[in-house]
């Protein structure tokens, strides 16, 4: 059971952030999820802007934030997801390895493709080839996390006999991926270590899970053992009873992990967010009991 850090309403009060993180851990949550956006586009100058976030949306940088979280809690830390193709692969591998060291191996590396072309351009990255490039990026990161010296020549990467130091505790760090399209699901089934799903426990979600597990089997892997994390998004649901029923629905669909996301639900500060995750902890005690077995 985990919590999505409510970036949009988190503010920059370091003391309040520390109190929130430590309270989440004390409530019995096991992991913390954080989203990734480097820049927000100015939507006021773009009449056709359809992006979820813009220049007014607060996002702490995940790797730096996780360094802080590792110092004040023992939560497992999982970005969901780092927009990998807009970042330099070796640098991401270095940053993830450092977080893994600081947490003594309590990390998962969530990666995805992203959607913000403005952000890609500002980071001098090619938006058009992101689908093909991410697979090579994952291969490169796994080599850097497991081999002291790497000699790699690919389509987009050249590493000439070099390596990370310190190496991560986990070799390799598990790579989880997000996505909903068929191409993304097939990629996750082939090369992912886990899936951050955006589907819900309804007829559409059950059909998507069945399709995904079919892709896992086609890839020669054990569909029953493949980890999946479901997201209980408070902003899209009714009251606490629906939060819990959604969590139970994810459990019944075979999810190995569940997170509660309070971001965008109208809570003004971290104290209000904390009351919501405390309510979910209390009302959904059955879910937490299952996760501790």
Predicted confidence band at 290 (pLDDT cuts at 50, 70, 90)? low
* C-alpha–C-alpha distance, residues 55 and 42, integer Å: 5
Give me the chain's average pLDDT, please.
96
Instruction: Report the predicted TM-score, pTM, of the whole model to 2 decimal places.
Output: 0.95
Strand partners, 111: 82, 177
* C-alpha–C-alpha distance, residues 125 and 88, integer Å: 9
* Residue 289: predicted pLDDT: 85
* C-alpha–C-alpha distance, residues 77 and 15, integer Å: 19
- Give the model confidence (pLDDT) of 117-155 as tens digits: 999 999 999 999 999 999 999 999 999 999 999 999 999
Tell me phi and psi for residue 117, to 5 degrees.
Answer: -65, -30
* C-alpha–C-alpha distance, residues 108 and 174, integer Å: 5
Predicted confidence band at 291 (pLDDT cuts at 50, 70, 90)? low
Domains of the chain: 35-178 (3.20.20.30)
SS3 89: helix
Percent of the chain scoring above 90 in pLDDT = 98
Q: Examine the pLDDT at 292 and tell me if it is beyond 80.
A: no
Strand partners, 225: none
Tokens of 38: 């480097």
* C-alpha–C-alpha distance, residues 164 and 143, integer Å: 10
Strand partners, 269: none
* Residue 293: predicted pLDDT: 42
Element (H, E) at 178: strand 175-178
Predicted confidence band at 40 (pLDDT cuts at 50, 70, 90)? very high
Q: β-pairing, 82-83 with 2-4?
A: unpaired
Per the listing, tokens 């893994």 go with 100
């Amino acid at each position: 059971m985990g919590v999505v850090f409510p970036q949009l309403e988190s503010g920059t009060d370091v003391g309040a952030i520390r109190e929130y993180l430590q309270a989440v851990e004390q409530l019995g949550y096991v992991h913390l999820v954080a989203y990734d956006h480097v820049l927000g586009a100015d939507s006021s100058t773009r009449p056709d802007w359809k992006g979820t976030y813009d220049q007014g949306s607060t996002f702490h940088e995940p790797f730096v934030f996780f360094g802080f979280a590792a110092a004040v809690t023992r939560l497992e830390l999982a970005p969901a997801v780092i927009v990998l193709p807009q970042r330099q692969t070796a640098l991401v591998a270095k940053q993830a390895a450092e977080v893994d060291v600081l947490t003594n191996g309590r990390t998962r590396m969530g990666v995805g493709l992203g959607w913000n072309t403005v952000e890609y351009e500002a980071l001098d990255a090619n938006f058009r080839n992101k689908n093909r490039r991410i697979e090579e990026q994952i291969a490169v990161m796994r080599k850097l996390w497991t081999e002291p010296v790497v000699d790699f020549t690919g389509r987009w990467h050249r590493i000439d006999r070099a390596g990370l130091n310190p190496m991560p505790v986990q070799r390799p760090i598990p790579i989880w991926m997000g996505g909903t399209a068929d191409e993304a699901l097939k990629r996750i089934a082939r090369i992912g270590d886990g899936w951050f799903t955006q589907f819900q426990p309804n007829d559409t979600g059950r059909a998507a899970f069945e399709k995904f597990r079919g892709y896992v089997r086609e890839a020669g892997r054990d569909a029953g053992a493949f980890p999946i994390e479901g997201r209980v998004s408070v902003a899209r649901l009714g009251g606490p009873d629906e939060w819990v029923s959604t969590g139970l629905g994810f459990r019944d669909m075979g999810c190995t992990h569940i997170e509660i996301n309070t971001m965008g639900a109208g809570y003004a500060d971290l104290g209000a967010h904390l009351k919501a995750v405390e309510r979910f902890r209390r009302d959904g005690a059955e879910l937490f009991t299952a996760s501790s077995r």
